[in-house]
Amino acid sequence: MRSPIPVMISGLMLISNIAHADELRERANEIFKPIPAKVAEIRGKAVSPDQAQLGHKLWFDPRLSRSHVISCNTCHNLSLGGGDNVTTSIGHGWQKGPRNSPTVLNAVFNAAQFWDGRAEDLQAQAKGPVQAGVEMNNTPDRVVATLKSIAEYASEFKKAFPSDKDPVSFDNMAYALEAFEVSLITPDAPFDRYLKGDDKALDAKQKQGLALFMDTGCTACHSGVNVGGQGYFPFGVIKKPGAEILPAGDKGRFTVTNTATDEYVFRAAPLRNVALTPPYFHSGEVWELEQAVAIMGDSQLGRTLKEDEVGAIAAFLRSLTGEQPRVAYPVLPPSSVDTPKPE
């Protein structure tokens, strides 16, 4: 007769492993949340399908720029993880922007927009690049004149904003863009499935990386549904990186608040889909995810991560890639003789 002891030991080990797996998930669920399948409201108001449909067209329309060359999708390419995969974006007149273009995907979950948090929501954010001289270099009056000159847009603005006496406005342009942007979310990442109870959604290395991500202190800045995007922190809490990564001339949130303690403070980057959006950091000078992880360990945690630790954390970060939004390129309405010409 076989001894029951090996069977008992095997059973106890299985129970222990299950308990450990459940503990890791429970800890993760206290810090992170899955991305919902849909965002149905903006600041307590239901998202209007007509406004979202209008925003869909405006997103791809280069006539929002003075040159008629640059659209929102130029720097936030929905085929490239919502960024543009260059160090800093190229804007009006081939000017190089000062910062790396952050992803638009899941931006609705951020506490504020831009690296320095200068826009409180996506509507405010949408107005910035249109007017920035280094980006689309346009003016509100010229944008409105362009949209009013296009009969189909005039009709669609009236449908989308039926209670407005003058529906074609710069504010409504931004609101329509926001209504479209809230649909740009990426649910059902392996990590989301894991949080919901699918233990096989992450492999052993990714689980090791998740544990390290929590245990080493990464979650002090990167937590919540977007795994970041919620707070402001100095780049270089423990040790400032070199000038090639942290340019001395870009003082971050200081330019918004003019407060000395905000020098070189930036909004924590949301890490959803981070594997799709190199190069990294506001300077866009780091191209490898593993290198970015190692730099953050050194600069933010004061810890030299071992190669296997870097690899495990990077593996976990790759589990944050969710279902990419399927967005059709729209047929845009034609200009008229009254449409301002490109400059």
Distance CA(301)–CA(291), nearest Å, equals 15
Exposure string over 81-105, b if 16+ CB within 10 A, otherwise e: bbbbebbbbbbbeeeebebbbbbbb
Answer yes or no: 135 catalytic: yes
Residues ≥6 apart with Cβ < 8 Å to 254: 260, 262, 263, 264, 265
Tokens, residue 19: 């308990």
On the question of a cis peptide bond just before residue 279, with omega within 30 degrees of 0, the verdict is yes
Q: Which of 30, 135, 290, 309 is catalytic?
A: 135
Residues ≥6 apart with Cβ < 8 Å to 72: 58, 59, 60, 64, 104, 126, 129, 177
The gap from C-alpha 280 to its chain's centroid, in whole angstroms, comes to: 12
Active site members: 135
